[in-house]
Amino acid sequence: MKVSTEDLENCRIALNIEAEASELDKSLDEAYHHLVKEVSVPGFRKGKAPRVILEQHIGKRALLEEALEHLVPQLYKEAIQSKELEPIAEPELEITQTEPLIFKATVSLKPEVKLGDYQGIRLDASPEIEVTDKEVAAAMEEFRKEQGAWVPADRRAELGDLVAINVQAKVDGKPWLDHKDILYEMDKDSRSPVPGFASCLQGAEKNKEKTFNLTIPDDYPIKEMRSKEASFRVTVSEVKEKQLPELNDELAKGAGYGGLEDMKEKVAAHLRTKAEARNRLELKQKALDALVEMSEVNYPPILEDEEIDGLLRSEAQRLGFKEIADYLKRASKTEEEIRQELRPMAKKRLVQGLVLGKLADEEKVEIGASEVDNKIDAIANDAGDKEKARQFFSLPQFKQSIEQSLRTQKTMDRLLQIAIGDIKDITKGE
C-alpha cells in the first residue's frame, strides 16, 4: 500500500491510498471464497464452483465490489495508523480507480483552539442590586392574583374571564374543531386556538351563539392550514371572573409568612437574589464573548452539521414531533433552508463550546464522581419516581452528559473569577 497526504483547510486531511496488486488479489480471493458459499451456481454444489465460473455467473464487477467492501476500510485503517492520525468521524471515501485500486479518504481531525490572553479579560462588576418598592408591589400583586378564586359573573364575557364554551370551527368548509363544555381563559395574548380568538369572544352573551372569522397564522404547526381563514361558531354557557383576596396579614400568613411586612421583606430578598443571578449570567456571557473574540478556532465542517442536527432535533421535540423527518414534512421551508437559518446559531454554540473546553483544559477544571452523584440525586429528588429517575440518569451516557454540563458551569465560573476578581460568592448556583 502506498499513502500520500494532502493538508486541507478546516482541520481535514486527504489520504491518497493505492493498494498493491497483491493486496487486491488477496481480497478478490477472499471475496470468492465468501460468495461461492452463498451463491447457487447451476451444475455445482454450493462452495464447489471454480472462481472463473462464479465470475461468469455473477459478473466480475460483483466480485470486485465484494472485495472492495472489505479491502477499502482495511487499507484506510492501516493508513491512519501509519500516519498516526486521530479521526473524529467516518471518512469521506472516493474510489478513483479499481485496477490498480486507488481511492481518496477525506479525514476530519480534532478541532484546533488557540486561546487569547484570557487572563487579561476585565469586566466591571455591577453595583449592589437595588429592588424598588414598585417592583415589590408588582410581585405582591401577582401573588394576589394567583390566590384569586373564579366566581360566577352574571354579565357578558370580557377579557380576563374564565368561560365554558362550545366551539365549532371550519377551514375551507371542512370541519376543524368540535369541542363541548371546555374551559377557556380569555387572555388577550393567547394563541389558542389561534391569535385573536379571546378578543373575538368579548361581549358574548351566555347561551347565545357568536360567529366570527380569523386567519390562521403562517407559523401554525400544521403546514396545510397556514394563512387560511377559519370560521368559528361559539356558544358561552358560563362566565366566571377572578375574585381577588385582600392583601393583608391574613393572606400573608396563609402563604407561610409571618405577616404582610415579613412577606414584603422576603419578596424583596427573592427579587434581589433573582436580579443578582441574572447579573451573574450577563457577566458570564460578556466574559465568554470576550474570550471567543480573542481566540482562534478551527474545526471540520462535520461538527457544525452535527450541531445543526441537534438544534433540529430539539425544535422537532419542542413542537411534539418524535422524528426530525416528521417535523420537516410539516415545515413550510425546505430542509436546506432551515439548516442554513440554523447555521449561525450552530456555529456560535459550537465555537463557544470548543473555547470553553480548551479553557477547562488550561485551567485544569475537573469534576469529581461525587459531584456527578450529587447532581443525579438532586434531579431524582425532584422526580415523581425518585428511584427510577436515579437509575435512568445513572446510565453511562447520561452521567457523561451531566459531567460535561457541570464542567462547563465550573469553567464559566472560573472565567468570571478571572474577569472580575476572586469574589467568594461568584460560584453560587443559579
Q: Is the dihedral of CA 152, 157, 158, 162 positive or negative?
A: positive
Q: ∠ at Cα 118 (114, 123), nearest 5°?
A: 145
pLDDT at 114 over 90: yes
Q: How far apart are CA 143 and CA 139, in angstroms?
A: 6
Closest C-alpha among 307, 293, 318 to residue 221: 318
CA angle 190/194/200 to nearest 5° reads 75
User: What is the average per-residue pLDDT within 319-345?
Assistant: 87
Q: What is the pLDDT of residues 191-244, one digit of tens each?
A: 999 999 999 999 999 999 999 999 999 888 777 888 999 999 999 999 999 999
324 pLDDT more than 90: no
Q: Are strands 229-243 and 149-152 parallel, antiparallel or unpaired?
A: antiparallel
More confident residue, 164 or 332: 164
CB 28, CB 19: distance < 8 Å: no
The verdict on whether omega for the bond into residue 195 sits within 30 degrees of 0, i.e. cis, is no
> What is the rounded CA–CA span in Å between residue 216 and residue 271?
39
> What pLDDT, on the 0 to 100 scale, is given for residue 183?
96
pLDDT confidence of residue 422: 58
pLDDT higher than threshold 60 for residue 63:
yes
Which residue spans of the chain are classified as CATH 3.10.50.40?
A: 149-243
Q: Name the segment(s) of the chain with CATH classification 3.30.70.1050.
A: 2-110
- Return all residues near 296 (Cβ < 8 A) that are at least 6 apart: 112, 113, 114, 116
- Note the pTM of the prediction, 2 decimals: 0.75
The pLDDT tens digits of the residues spanning 364-395 come to 999 999 999 999 999 988 888 888 888 888 89
CB 353 within 8 A of CB 395: no
Minimum mean pLDDT among 45-49, 176-180, 284-288: which range? 45-49
CATH code of domain 258-427: 1.10.3120.10
Ranges of CATH 1.10.3120.10 domains, the chain: 258-427
Q: Rounded to an integer, what distance in angstroms lies between the CA atom of residue 386 and that of residue 120? A: 45
Identify the pLDDT of residue 428.
42
Residue 425 has pLDDT above 50, yes or no: no
Q: How many Cα atoms are found within 13 Å in the side-chain-facing hemisphere of 259?
A: 1
Mean pLDDT (the chain) is 92
- Please say if the pLDDT value at position 357 is more than 60: yes
61-72 average pLDDT score:
92
The CATH architecture to which 2-110 belongs is 2-Layer Sandwich (3.30)
What is residue 126's DSSP assignment? Answer: P
- Secondary element (H or E) of residue 241: strand 229-243
Tell which wins on pLDDT, 167 or 325: 167
* pLDDT surpasses 60 at 427: no
Share of the chain above pLDDT 90, in %: 76
Spatial distance between the Cα atoms of 103 and 170, rounded to a whole number of angstroms: 60
- Rg over alpha carbons for the chain, rounded to the nearest Å, is 33
Q: In the numeric block, which cell numbers belong to residue 108?
A: 476530519
* Mean pLDDT value across residues 37-64: 89
Q: Is 223 helix (H, G, I), strand (E, B) or coil?
A: helix
Binned at pLDDT 50, 70 and 90, residue 426 comes out as: very low
Rounded alpha-carbon distances, angstroms, from residue 363 to 79, 360, 400, 410: 35, 5, 20, 11
Q: How do residues 255-310 score in pLDDT, each as one tens digit?
A: 999 999 999 999 999 999 999 999 999 999 999 999 999 999 999 999 999 999 99
d(CA 406, CA 366): 9
Give me the mean pLDDT over the 37-56 stretch: 89
The answer, yes or no, to whether residue 330 has pLDDT greater than 80, is: no
Q: Does 169 score more than 50 pLDDT?
A: yes
When pLDDT is cut at 50, 70 and 90, the band that residue 87 belongs to is: very high
Q: Which CATH class is domain 149-243?
A: alpha beta
* High-pLDDT (> 70) share of the chain, %: 97
Q: For 74-78, 170-174, 220-224, 267-271, which range has the lowest pLDDT when averaged over its residues? A: 220-224
Cell numbers 466480485: residue = 63
Of the two residues 383 and 407, the one the predictor is more confident about is: 407
